[in-house]
Structure 1
Amino acid sequence: MTLLSSQLLVFSALHRRAPPTLFPWTNPTTTHTAPSLCSPVQLGQPRLPRFVAAAVAEDLLYNAGATVGVLGGGYALVRAFDELTRRNILNQGLSRKLVHILSGLLFLISWPIFSNSPKARYFAAFVPLVNCLRLLVNGFSLTSDEGLIKSVTREGDPLELLRGPLYYVMILMLCALVFWRESPVGVVSLAMMCGGDGIADIIGRRYGHTKIPYNEKKSWAGSISMFGFGFLVSIGMLYYYSVLGHVQLDWESTVPRVAFISFVATMVESLPITKVVDDNISVPLVTMALAFFTFHY
């Protein structure tokens, strides 16, 4: 993509040197003549459109290939955990949560694979869109993918696909389209939803003997693990994107900001509101709002 980027820069520079004049009367110093068949401008015009068309086609082909690769990776991940569940190596609950954690984080890690084109985010968002359609088709029982149902539902009921899992992929799509890799907001939101909320359920079920006073379904172990793991994953992802040059951060102010966001997101996850608002909606939306104001103001 280095060659493609340099070619696009050259093309952009050529256009800056000779901008088209839509309204000739706005530039009285320019002498305008009627175009002719032998005009050098006319002879030279076909080169640039062909060049641009080739560059755009190359970019589209590259992003399409990246999309196929990420889709294939996500499909392989779900199938792998389905096989582990089928062989009784993992129970269904643990398999579901590991898919919850890994699929979102791998999607987030894959963003730099796409090109630097402004349209690249739409190719990336196509990945959760495909999964969204799969959830809708299986959730309404128009078809039945037993592997998908076992991997992402608690009780094996297809209708569960239309709740938490559907909200999950919609948040993935939203973060890719709205924030993309130039903003820490989407990165932290997905890190807290996938990493923090996901690990809270795993640790809480195994070691959550001491419950939180205001919510008997949540434990201190789960909440503490969500805060710690969510914070570490968020910092790790931000560092990953900063090393690649997509975001520039002042780490002295970034670390306490992320710690504050992780704390508030953990508090929201611990509230007894799951029957009203799913964690896959409340946690990322609160994180988005806090991250937007803490990083932009």
Structure 2
Amino acid sequence: MASTIAYFSIPPRSTSNFCCSFKTHFFGFVQLPKVKPRRRRIRRELKRAAAMFSGTTVVSDAIATGLSGGIALSLLKIWEQTAKRGVFDQKLNRKLVHVTVGLAFMLCWPMFSSGRQGAILAALIPGINIIKMLLLGLGIWKDDATVKSMSRFGDYRELLKGPLYYASTITLASAIYWRTSPIAIAAVCNLCAGDGMADIVGRRFGSQKLPYNQNKSVVGSITMACAGFLASVGYMFYFSSFGYIQESTNMVLGFLIVSIAAALVESHPLSTELDDNLTVPLAAVLVGSLVL
């Protein structure tokens, strides 16, 4: 009787706490604490990881330049060795360089400071490669390993076309558009992931050719559009996690339109004559300027 009186003498708020405790004990109803969305935690960790490079000092950008250049150079050296040792077919090795180097370099962009200083210093890394392609392509500098890893037929003069356009695209994407522009993402991703994967998959499974270009396959063009689009969306989320751009459904749709347009341009016979390393990023920039 005394316990019953004590129970009804508890104030309303305490009664609520008592009932909650009673339910938890007897019925196993556990009230879990609210947690922040996982995506927000990932964003916070990414920002913290890049905090040491987020300043505007020359020293932080110099460190970022050294690290980014080291990563790009290491990748190139790896592919030079695989080409030298014949690990992959020469054309496949060339496309592996094509896919990985530009995308890996773009992953390093958050290490640089905001503003023009970071953009220009980042652009110096592929910019140096432009000079290298010119020296090798003109025969002034001899480097058989680099020529073999980047050319179709082992001719050093080939470096004055595709490889030179490739380095120029990434340089301009860094210096002009930078990490706050979805156009930079579209240009680099469709050039690297799109065009690179189109050739790799098209050579292996592309038995059905396009009616207007017997040098291109249906599966290769579809692969290019899909790879360029998926890479673009992936980098959209990546840069959005740092707050450089604002992800949106419209941007995703814009990336899809750009990737389809780039794949159509790449499949055209004129693109083969000029060089798709030139026509693909040009198409991405022009269409991206309208839809992104």
Q: Is this a same-fold pair by TM over 0.5?
A: yes
C-alpha deviation, 1:161, in angstroms: 0.5
Aligned AA for 2:250?
Answer: S
Structure 1 residues 106-117: aligned runs within 5 Å: 106-117=104-115
Measure how far apart 1:125 and its partner are: 0.5
Counterparts of 1:89 and 1:148, CA distance in 2: 15
**Structure 1 residue 275, shift from structure 2 partner:** 4.6
Q: Which amino acid aligns with 1:281?
A: L
1:278 alignment partner, one of 275, 289, 292:
275
Which of 60-69 and 190-199 deviates more? Answer: 60-69
RMSD of Structure 2 on Structure 1 (CA): 1.7
Residues 4 and 185 of structure 1, relative CA distance in 2, 3 Å threshold: closer
What is the CA deviation profile of residues 250-276 of structure 1, one whole-angstrom value per residue up to 9, with x for unaligned ones?
Answer: 2x2222221111111111111001354
Alignment of 1:83-98 (within 5 A): 83-98=81-96
SS of the aligned residue for 1:116 comes to coil
Q: Which residue of 2 aligns with 1:32?
A: none
Distance 1:255 1:117 in 2: 25
SS in 2 for 1:182: coil
The CA deviation string for residues 21-54 of structure 1, in whole angstroms up to 9 with x for no partner, is xxxxxxxxxxxxxxxxxxxxxxxxxxxxxxxxxx
Deviations 1:81-104 (A, max 9, x none): 121223322121111100001011
Seen in structure 2, the aligned counterparts of structure 1 residues 5 and 168 have a Cα distance that, compared at 3 Å, is closer
Separation in 2 of the partners of 1:231 and 1:2? 29
Q: Which amino acid aligns with 1:219?
A: S
Q: Match for 1:94: what amino acid?
A: L
Identity %: 37
Structure 1 residue 249, shift from structure 2 partner:
2.5
Paired position in structure 1 for 2:245: 247
Q: Which residue of 2 aligns with 1:288?
A: 285
SS, match of residue 274 in structure 1? helix
188 and 3 in structure 1: CA distance in 2 versus 1, 3 angstrom threshold: closer
Quote the Cα distance in structure 1 between the aligned partners of 2:121 and 2:53.
Answer: 18
| Cα shift at 1:291 | 1.2
Using the size of structure 2 for normalisation, the TM-score is 0.79
Aligned CA distance change for structure 1 residues 275 and 210 (closer, same or farther; 3 Å): closer
Distance verdict in 2 for CA 1:211–1:179, change over 3 Å: same
Question: Match for 1:170: what amino acid?
Answer: S
Bigger shift: residues 239-248 or 79-88: 79-88
In structure 1, how many angstroms separate the alpha carbons of the residues matched to 2:116 and 2:178? Answer: 10
- Distance apart, 1:2 and its partner CA: 5.4
Distance across 2 between alignment mates of 1:5 and 1:131:
25
Which residue of the partner structure matches residue 257 of structure 2?
260
1:216 lines up with 2:214 in the alignment = yes
Contact 2:53 2:112 in 1 (8 A): no
- My pick for the range that moved more, 256-265 or 220-229, is 256-265
1:150-185 C-alpha deviation (Å, 9 max, x unpaired)? 110011111001011001101111111111011111
AA in 2 matched with 1:236: G
Greater Rg, structure 1 or structure 2? 2
The 3 A distance-change label for structure 1 pair 216 and 246 is same
Correspondence list, 1:37-52, <5 A: none
Contact 2:83 2:93 in 1 (8 A): yes
**SS of alignment partner, residue 209 of structure 1:** coil
TM-score (norm 1): 0.78
Q: Distance in 1 between matches of 2:241 and 2:70?
A: 26
**Alignment counterpart, residue 148 of structure 1, candidates 146, 149, 162:** 146
**SS in structure 2 of the partner of residue 217 of structure 1:** strand
What is the Cα deviation at residue 74 of structure 1? Answer: 1.4
| C-alpha distance after superposition, 1:266-288 (max 9, x if no partner) | 11111001354211111111111
Question: Using the alignment, how far apart are the partners of 1:76 and 1:4 within structure 2?
Answer: 21
Per the alignment, residue 190 of structure 2 pairs with 192
SS state of the match for residue 236, structure 1? Answer: helix
Note if contact 2:84-2:148 (Cα within 8 Å) is conserved in structure 1: no
| Contact 2:120/2:175 (8 A) holds in 1 | yes
The one-letter amino acid of 1:264's match is A
Distance 1:287 1:117, change over 3 A: closer
Q: 1:3 to 1:137 in 2, by over 3 A?
A: closer
Gaps of 5+ in 2: 1-49
> For residues 213-262 of structure 1, what are the alpha-carbon distances to aligned partners after superposition, in whole Å with 9 as ceiling and x for unaligned?
00000001100110111111010011101111100132x22222211111
C-alpha distance in structure 2 between counterparts of 1:169 and 1:73, whole Å: 15
Q: State whether structure 2 residue 159 is matched by structure 1 residue 161.
A: yes
